[in-house]
Amino acid sequence: MKERITNAISDFFFEYETPRQVLVRNRRVGVVCRLIQLGVLAYIIGWVFIYEKGYQSTDTAVSSVFTKMKGVGYTNVNGAERVWDVADYVFPPQGDASFVVMTNYIMTEGQQMGKCPELPGKHNCSTDSDCEGGSYKRTGHGEMTGVCVNTTRTCEVLAWCPVENDHVIPDPPLLMSAENYTLFIKNSVTFPLFGVSRSNLVEGVDAEYIRECLHNSEKDPLCPIFRLGDIVKESGFNFELIAKVGGAIGIVIEWTCNFDVDVKHCKPQYHFHGLYGNPAETDKARASVGYNFRYAKHYMEDKVQKRTLLKVFGIRFDIIVQSLARKFDIIPTLTAIGSGVGIFGVATVVCDLVLLYLLPKREFYKNMKFKYTESHMQTDYTQTLCGWGGHVWPF
């Protein structure tokens, strides 16, 4: 037993096994094998290394976006002139990556808390019994008092009076001047894996350049100042249509960087996508079109609290940063090479299948590739040795 264990250990450390190789001279099989190997080689070089860049490690950026609007609008509604600046038409005003620019509105001035009739078509009634006191309607403006107002044939409500009438949307939009507003975007990105930080104010984009430039995809692709009309146009929308009822546009800042070359070549690209809100491309049967919200400005008049209610129609801008940086790394390189070498084994498997199961001389190739040992031959050989007293005679 001890000798057997010793022999096994000795064989494990001091013997080497190698697979048996059979050289087959067959043109068809040889061509198939080389074509498969060539295809695998093309896949490794073309797809893995050139297209997918399998020799590089990747990282995505931590990003921050700051925005600033500039421009002045003018309206004249029923003889009331007004100038609108950034503090009036941008929501929220902090310069976030997502904000709304007002392009149209419905204003209800001088509202105060009291009792007044609902709008026709909201809560129609014929008697007081049709207006349940203390109840609310989902589309109403306040709490019903239980009184049916004969002049309007609608229920009386406790609400901010007079109630808002938003049945008619101004057309053309009141703030068409928003088309000429400008948007400044400042974006900073950091790739923590590579320790690289970049800004969209790249080399050459200095204070003097910013004062004069206006973004153009062909002439000034790196300028961070955008005209709203150009953004809407490049997103595929019509400004007057989207300005009437509002909508949403996505601004994508794309960073695709290769840090195997100089960092200064890492520059942003801007893309614009219309998300929703173009009435010309919307089925009229849809329940909700465009983008709007309400906000109120409260004030005191003769010790009475009042407010001005605005239903704002605007364009919502969502700035989205997409990033991918690459740099050479030995680990993914060796992994890609190793997987490619493993795929070369496909050629051997396919050729073996052709040799052993498809060619006319498959039995011949099978005998050449495999060595068979029958169990009864081993038994007969053992018995012969025993008949000679366990001695093997030399020949």
- Residue 127 gets which letter from DSSP? S
- Terminal alpha carbon distance of the chain: 32
Amino acid at 178: A
Across 325-353, average pLDDT? 86
Which range scores top for mean pLDDT: 22-31, 134-143, 281-290, 360-369? 134-143
Least confident of 4-8, 25-29, 256-260, 384-388: 384-388
pLDDT value of residue 382? 46
pTM of the model: 0.77
- Angle (nearest 5°) at CA 133 between 132 and 136: 75
Tokens of 195: 């320790």
- Angle (nearest 5°) at CA 172 between 105 and 271: 80
Across 81-96, average pLDDT? 90
pLDDT value of residue 357? 80
> Higher model confidence: residue 376 or residue 147?
147
Q: Are 94 and 305 in contact (CB under 8 A)?
A: no
d(CA 34, CA 29): 9
Whether 136 has a pLDDT exceeding 60, the answer reads: yes
pLDDT band, very low/low/confident/very high, at 252 (cuts 50, 70, 90):
very high
Cα–Cα distances in angstroms (integers) from residue 363 to residues 3, 32, 211, 351, 355, in the given order: 42, 20, 83, 15, 9
Tokens of 198: 């970049």
Q: Are 124 and 144 in contact (CB under 8 A)?
A: no
Whether 218 has a pLDDT exceeding 80, the answer reads: yes
Tokens of 384: 């012969």
pLDDT value of residue 395? 33
Where would I find the beta strands (DSSP E) of 150-303? 154-161, 182-191, 196-199, 225-227, 247-258, 268-276, 292-301
Whether 276 has a pLDDT exceeding 50, the answer reads: yes
In this structure, the dihedral spanned by the alpha carbons of residues 93, 98, 103 and 107, taken in order and rounded to 10 degrees, is -60
pLDDT value of residue 372? 62
- Per-residue pLDDT of 110-120, as tens digits, reads 999 999 999 88
Nearest to 141 by CA among 106, 166, 105: 166
How many H helices and E strands in the chain? 10, 15
pLDDT value of residue 350? 83
> Higher model confidence: residue 3 or residue 306?
306
pLDDT value of residue 220? 92
> Higher model confidence: residue 346 or residue 182?
182
pLDDT value of residue 186? 95
Whether 394 has a pLDDT exceeding 50, the answer reads: no
List all residues 6 or more positions away from 172 whose beta carbon is below 8 Å from its beta carbon.
Answer: 240, 244
Query: Scanning the structure block, which residue is given the tokens 């409500």?
Result: 157
Q: Are 95 and 128 in contact (CB under 8 A)?
A: no
Q: Are 292 and 245 in contact (CB under 8 A)?
A: yes
- Per-residue pLDDT of 308-327, as tens digits, reads 999 999 999 999 999 999 99
pLDDT value of residue 47? 87
Q: Is the dihedral of CA 324, 329, 333, 336 positive or negative?
A: negative
Across 324-340, average pLDDT? 90
Tokens of 45: 């070089």
Whether 299 has a pLDDT exceeding 60, the answer reads: yes
- Residue 11 gets which letter from DSSP? H
Element (H, E) at 62: strand 62-70
**SS3 state of residue 303:** coil
d(CA 92, CA 164): 23
Across 80-87, average pLDDT? 92
